[in-house]
């Protein structure tokens, strides 16, 4: 492993940044969930890079748990999107203002 | 040479991640996310995490992304989706994070603490076997909790997407 771990940190930071900007600027709920997946993948890259750097397998185990949470998040999130689509005939986040002040 | 391979994977990952956010058609976004997942799996292989690379492809590309594509095609989303008015907030937060990355890498001169003692015993065994041993001994309780999370998500998804649960109960 000759690639320094800082490269992985910078890559992970960039991907997390793109995901955060995507969550904030897009109006389509599905794209927002995809951006959350981007952020989860950024943390996973960091976990695996440090796991290889320190020779400790705990990082890879935590990627496993992050993946479990991502799967649960997708299942519930997509169910919520389908329920919203049934009631409002759209998944634009600006249309849902019931809980807005 | 390993740096070159890493730079290839990193460039594709960053470009496809930007495409996920920038493209207007949700199907194209999901497909570019698929390309990104494959390249993240390749990155895992270069980091000697072969088990996670396989899991990444099977679970992320095989299950999660298919679910996304299924919902996108089920809902028949119109593609005239515009950007939100939260652009300034996104720009501000993005600029803060970007300066953080730049400052951290600049001030520390791209040096992280030297690697700790490499657990060579785990390196001799296969990656999958080593992960299994750690997962079922040290992290057994979190592993059981993960199964509980999946059960809760499954019940929640079924209840949320069930049509008119109250009416069917009353009738």
What is the Cα–Cα distance from B83 to B62, expressed in whole angstroms? 29
Does B157 reside within a domain? no
pLDDT 10s digits, A36-71: 999 999 999 999 998 888 888 888 899 999 999 999
CB contacts, 8 Å: A92 with chain B:
81
The per-residue pLDDT for A42 is 94
The structural domain count of chain B equals 1
Phi, psi of A92 (to 5 degrees): -85, 125
Could you tell me the CATH number of the domain that includes residue B11? 1.20.120.1200
ipTM: 0.89
Does B55 reside within a domain? yes
Task: Find the closest chain A residue to B57 by CA distance.
Answer: A67
Task: Find the closest chain A residue to B138 by CA distance.
Answer: A58
Domains for chain A: give ranges and CATH numbers. 5-95 (1.10.287.3510)
Domain housing B24: 1-79
Instruction: Kindly state the tokens that stand for A38.
Output: 């981007």
pLDDT above 60 (res B118): no
Task: Find the closest chain A residue to B161 by CA distance.
Answer: A79
Q: Do B67 and A55 touch (CB under 8 A)?
A: no
Does B5 reside within a domain? yes
Does any CB of chain B come closer than 8 Å to the CB of residue A77? Answer: no
Does B34 reside within a domain? yes
Q: Do B101 and A10 touch (CB under 8 A)?
A: yes
What is the Cα–Cα distance from B123 to B135, expressed in whole angstroms? 16
Does any CB of chain B come closer than 8 Å to the CB of residue A95? Answer: no
Q: Tell me the average pLDDT across B105-129.
A: 61
> Given pLDDT bands bounded at 50, 70 and 90, which one contains residue B122?
very low
What is the Cα–Cα distance from A75 to B155, expressed in whole angstroms? 10
DSSP tag of B93: H
Does B21 reside within a domain? yes
Listed in sequence order, the residues at least 6 apart from B40 whose beta carbon sits closer than 8 Å to its beta carbon are A41, A44, A45, B9, B13, B56
The per-residue pLDDT for B164 is 64
Q: Do A76 and B157 touch (CB under 8 A)?
A: yes
pLDDT-above-90 percentage for chain A:
36
The per-residue pLDDT for B121 is 45
Q: Tell me the average pLDDT across B120-144.
A: 78
pLDDT-above-70 percentage for chain B:
79
Inter-chain CB pairs, A–B, below 8 Å: 230
Does B115 reside within a domain? no
pLDDT 10s digits, B33-87: 999 999 999 999 988 888 889 999 999 888 899 988 888 888 876 665 566 677 7
């Amino acid at each position: 492993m000759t690639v320094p771990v800082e490269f992985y940190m910078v890559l992970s930071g960039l991907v997390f940044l793109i995901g955060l900007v995507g969550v904030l600027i897009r109006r389509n709920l599905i794209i927002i969930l995809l951006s959350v997946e981007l952020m989860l993948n950024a943390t996973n890259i960091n976990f695996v890079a440090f796991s290889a750097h320190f020779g400790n397998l705990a990082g890879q185990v935590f990627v496993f748990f992050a993946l479990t949470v991502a799967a649960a998040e997708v299942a519930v999130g997509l169910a919520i999107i389908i329920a919203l689509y049934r009631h409002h005939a759209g998944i634009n986040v600006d249309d849902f203002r019931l809980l807005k002040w | 040479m390993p740096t070159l391979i890493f730079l290839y994977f990193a460039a594709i990952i960053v470009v496809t991640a930007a495409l996920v956010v920038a493209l207007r058609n949700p199907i194209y976004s999901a497909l570019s996310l698929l390309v990104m997942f494959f390249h993240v799996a390749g990155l895992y292989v270069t980091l000697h995490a072969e088990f996670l690379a396989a899991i990444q492809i099977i679970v992320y590309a095989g299950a999660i992304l298919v679910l996304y594509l299924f919902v996108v095609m089920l809902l028949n989303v119109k593609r005239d989706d515009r950007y939100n008015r939260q652009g300034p907030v996104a720009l501000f937060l993005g600029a803060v994070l970007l300066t953080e990355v730049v400052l951290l890498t600049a001030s520390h001169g791209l040096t992280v603490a030297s690697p700790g003692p490499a657990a060579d015993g785990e390196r001799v065994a296969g990656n999958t076997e080593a992960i299994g041993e750690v997962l079922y001994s040290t992290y057994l309780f979190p592993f059981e909790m993960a199964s509980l999370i999946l059960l809760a998500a499954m019940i929640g998804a079924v209840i949320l997407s069930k049509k008119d649960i109250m009416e069917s109960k009353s009738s």
